[in-house]
Amino acid sequence: MKPQFLIGGATSGSGKTVFALGFLRALKKRGVRVQPYKCGPGFMDTQLHAISSGVESVNLDSWFAGRTHLQYVYNKYGERADVCMIEGNSALFDGYRRMQGSSAEMSQLVSVPVILVVNARSAAYSVAPMLYGYKLFRPQVKIVGVVFTHVSSPTHFSYLKDACTDAGLNCLGHIPYDESLKLPQRHTALTQSVRSEIEEVAEKASVYIEQNIDIDRILKMCTRIFPCEYTLPYTSDVEETGPVILEKKLRIAIARDSAFNFMYKENLDRLSSLGDIQFFSPLYAKELPDADMIYLPGGFPELFARQLYRRKEFLHHLKSYADRGGKILAEGGAVALLAQTITARDGGTSYEMSGILPIHCFVNKSGIVSGYRMFSHNTVRLKGYESRYLSFENSDTDNTVISKVTIENTRGVDSGTPLFRYKNVIASFTHFYWGDTDIIGLWD
């Protein structure tokens, strides 16, 4: 038995992330070990969780993997924790197809109750019918209570408590309106200064939570049996699904710094099972580590275009490695590192990159491109999520195949996202999840 719960938003922009960070920090200050999770494919919130709690956060996404695998992942990482906390994605019932992929579905999948977070900035007692609807819409989704954010005064909060009472839900407390409780924009690298901003938000939110929310009551209300039960049919070898054991351990080099840090925790565990991992920084490295495989995870290299351009020796080594047939897997923004050039802003300087792929990358004028993706290659079927601010244009395709593999969205429609292949270089703007897949099969 241990406290377990999902923080869900009544709407997008409800303030659930600020509440989650504050709750994590409040429990950390009490000496309570919390295992944070993020429902959905996002990378930024998992990094915010880690900063606030000191524990690596884990993504849970029902588009990526089946129910049994997700239940296994939830149980595996929560085993040594005192409390398990999942931050939801978007609004509570928003999924890629009705409730499929939603936070509400995840709460049922791992059998945890929901704390509903409501932005009360422009409402008072009128939230009552909305709360009543949330309570009755799917009764099997257990909402244990409500936390309000952006509350302007004690009088304002009294109206909100009345609304909870009349809707038949517990009022668990509030976070007052504070202009300084703002998180950095999403298209931001986690530099030291940004980390300091996040620390300040987490600390201030934790103080508000300690003052206005009964933490002990929430933990008591949300105590449930752990581990969650596996969905039948269950096979005892669930831990063994995925990559086969190789005769020879691989040497795997993984890029990780402020420009390249979008990676799923379970992906790293899979790579660890294949060989010995060594991390390196494209922002500071002069040479490429000796490796049998290079993994370039996503991030925002466009924010460091000039600094990457100056790593000429490293970029030369990367291209030589690719030309010799070295295995490289690049995802998301890391595709730009393999391009001919990258242009960080409209009308700005085009900085030369490694030149492995015959494309030029530039920041997309129309904003972010995002959505779930899937494709099949040989015996491998991969699912993932695309979220990028970059676009590209071809310069020459004589030496590089832009794969004819169709990368589809959740409706089975061609997403228009390319898969690049040059010798043993595989690159895609999609961040793939291979926590239960044989990733090495991509090169077969």
> pLDDT by residue (tens digit) across 49-92?
999 999 999 999 999 988 999 999 999 999 999 999 999 999 99
Give the pLDDT of residue 246: 56
Reduced DSSP (H G I as helix, E B as strand, rest coil) percent helix, strand, coil of the chain, to 5 = 30, 30, 40
Q: What number is the average pLDDT over the span 158-182?
A: 96
Helix ranges (H only) for 295-391 are 305-309, 312-323
48 vs 17: CA distance, rounded Å: 9
Give me 243's structure tokens.
């990559």
Q: What number is the average pLDDT over the span 173-179?
A: 96
Fold match between domain 2-224 and domain 242-443 = yes
For domain 242-443, give the fold. Rossmann fold (3.40.50)
Give me 420's structure tokens.
């690049």
Task: Tell me: pLDDT of 241 over 50.
Answer: no
Give me 302's structure tokens.
């466009």
Give the pLDDT of residue 240: 43
Give the pLDDT of residue 120: 95
Per DSSP, the three-state class of 285 is: coil
Q: What number is the average pLDDT over the span 115-139?
A: 96
Give me 128's structure tokens.
């009552």
Tally of CA atoms within 13 A in the half-sphere of 94 that contains its CB: 12
Give the pLDDT of residue 236: 46
131 vs 119: CA distance, rounded Å: 12
Q: Residue 49: left (phi > 0), alpha (psi -120 to 50), or beta?
A: alpha
What angle do helix axes 192-212 and 44-53 make, rounded to 10 degrees?
A: 70
Per DSSP, the three-state class of 277 is: strand
Task: Tell me: pLDDT of 341 over 90.
Answer: yes
pLDDT class for 399, splitting at 50, 70, 90? low
Rg (CA), the chain: 23
Task: Tell me: pLDDT of 115 over 80.
Answer: yes
pLDDT class for 237, splitting at 50, 70, 90? very low
> pLDDT by residue (tens digit) across 362-391?
988 777 888 999 988 767 788 999 988 888
Q: What are phi and psi of 381, to 5 degrees?
A: -120, 120
Task: Tell me: pLDDT of 279 over 60.
Answer: yes
Of 318-322, 324-328, 378-382, least confident by mean pLDDT is 378-382
Of 24-28, 138-142, 226-230, least confident by mean pLDDT is 226-230
Residue closest to 18 by CA, chosen among 260, 214, 172, 203 = 203
Task: Tell me: pLDDT of 264 over 80.
Answer: yes
Residue closest to 24 by CA, chosen among 105, 106, 81 = 81
What angle do helix axes 16-29 and 44-53 make, rounded to 10 degrees?
A: 30
CB of 425 within 8 A of CB of 337? no
CB of 148 within 8 A of CB of 157? yes
The CATH class for the domain spanning 2-224 reads alpha beta
Give the pLDDT of residue 69: 92
Every domain of the chain and the residues it spans: 2-224, 242-443
Q: What number is the average pLDDT over the span 262-284?
A: 92
> pLDDT by residue (tens digit) across 181-215?
999 887 887 888 899 999 999 999 999 999 999 99
Tally of CA atoms within 13 A in the half-sphere of 404 that contains its CB: 1
Give the pLDDT of residue 247: 60
> pLDDT by residue (tens digit) across 15-46?
999 999 999 999 999 999 999 999 999 999 99
pTM of the predicted structure, to 2 decimals: 0.91
CB of 417 within 8 A of CB of 373? yes
Give the pLDDT of residue 381: 83
pLDDT class for 151, splitting at 50, 70, 90? very high
DSSP letters for 215-261: HHHHHHHTEE-SSPPPPSS--TTGGG-SSPPPSS-EEEEEE-SSSEE
Q: Cβ-count burial of 58 within 10 angstroms (0-12 exposed, 13-18 middle, 19+ buried)?
A: buried
DSSP letters for 154-169: HHHHHHHHHHHHHHT-
Q: How far is CA 415 from the centre of its chain?
A: 21
Buried b (16+ CB within 10 A) or exposed e, 381-408: ebbbbbbbbbbbeeeeeeebeebeeebb
